[in-house]
Every structure is written in C-alpha cells, then in structure tokens.
Structure 1
C-alpha cells in the first residue's frame, strides 16, 4: 500500500509558466482579501448569501468560509511546492460555495451590488471561471492528467 505522500507525488512541485504564477498569486491575494472581508467589513453581505437550507448559523457559515478562504489564499501565495494540490482544494471550495450564489439568484437577495436578477444571473457564470482559474494557474489539472507518467 502506498503512503499518503507517495499517492500525492503528482501534486508536488509541478511546473507552471510565469503567467500561471501571476494568476495563481492574484487568485491567492483575492481569496485572502475575501476571507478577511468575511470576518470584518463585508460580513453582513456574506450572511445574506447563505442559503436558508444550510443547517448551521449563517454567521458561523460566513466565519468558517472566511477562514477557509484565508487559508486557501495564503496557501496559493506560499505553498509553491504543493500548488497543484492547493489548486484542487480551491476548485473544490468554489464548487461547494456555488449553491450560495444560486440561492442568492433564486431568492432574489441583494448583496455586493447585485441588485437585479440579471446581475445575479451573470455572476453565476463566473463561478466556473474561478474553478478553471484555480486548476489552470496552479497546474493542477495538468499534474493530475500526468500523474501516472
């Protein structure tokens, strides 16, 4: 049986181009900023996005997701050797928070200046862009595809 680090060897020290590095750092900085804003000045905006069906306190969800965003942001900025693994974790996070964006659209919740159905709908199309950004900028997709080579 393989040890965990051996199973994750494909995600260690992957090659990326300089433009990918710039986009990885931009994504990391944006996640760090968003995470800090979850815990401070945009807290009520994020509370408004938590779907009603989530069985936890909306404030707790905002705090926890803010902490995760800070961790992911710092990881994208600092964990260069494990960037592919961090890329997958970031992409999964973007998938997990997508229901909040859908809920905001479906329930017509105004937050972050998204005060029309059209604006909220357009925002939904940016979530896949974030997922692709995380996977591409970290070399995660390429590393996973080439894991058996």
Structure 2
C-alpha cells in the first residue's frame, strides 16, 4: 500500500492536488497554487474521509498536533477558508468543503468526484502516472486510462515552463 504522501488526487477533473508538494495545478489554465503544509494535511484528511464528516479535533490532530503545534480555532477556520479560496483560484467553480455546523466539515460525495493516483516518480517536475504493468488498452480500467491522460497533461505543464 502506498503512503498517503505518495498519492495525488484529481478533483472534479479540474484540479490536480499534489499533497507531497502542497500544490494545486489547474487543468483550466495550467497555473500552480501553493498552499501551506498544514492546509495540505487537512485536505488529505477530508479527501480520505470523502462523504464523512471530519470534526475539529481530527483536523487539529492531523494538521498541527502530530507536528508538535497547538493552534486556536481561528487558525483552523482560516485554513479551511484558504483551502476554499485556493481551490476556487485553481478552477473549481463550486465549494467542495461544506461546513456542518457544530460538527465539522465534509466533502460531499454526490457533487465531488475525487480520483486517486500513485505517481511512480517524484524526482522531476513531471508527475509520472505510468501504470506499473503493461495492460492492453482495451482492458484498461477507466481510472488507468484517465491516469495516462493526467500524465500527458502533467508533461505538457513541464514543457510549457
């Protein structure tokens, strides 16, 4: 099983989220949007719990406490606000992080599609999404076909720079 820091996510086919680089890449205009590592850790927790409410204490623990820091509720709220803002700048037209009053936050499972990928190589700027085994295209699962498209998109980002 891959380490979660070795995973990248495609959100609603519009934004690539690279947690290991604290980075969103817009598929609309190829722009990169850097976020704080604490925000990245919080978003990974929300993604892993896609469709389930993540409470304040879970976010405090993952975002800060596991790294030896204590923060105020205001810091958590600012982090969620900044995530929403950066996701919007990266091309998501809808707010994917919904507030559940007095409970926490959730990424809606009905309106948000999140696909997970395991890149093979983080050494360069390119996000390499090559499958580990060669499989005839006709027998490829849908996610693997999309992974190849994502790889081609990531390469076009590098060549455009």
Same fold (TM over 0.5): no
Which structure has the higher relative contact order (CA within 8 Å, separation 6+)? 1
TM-score normalised according to structure 2 size: 0.29
TM-score normalised according to structure 1 size: 0.30
- Higher share of residues assigned strand: 2
- Higher share of residues assigned helix: 1
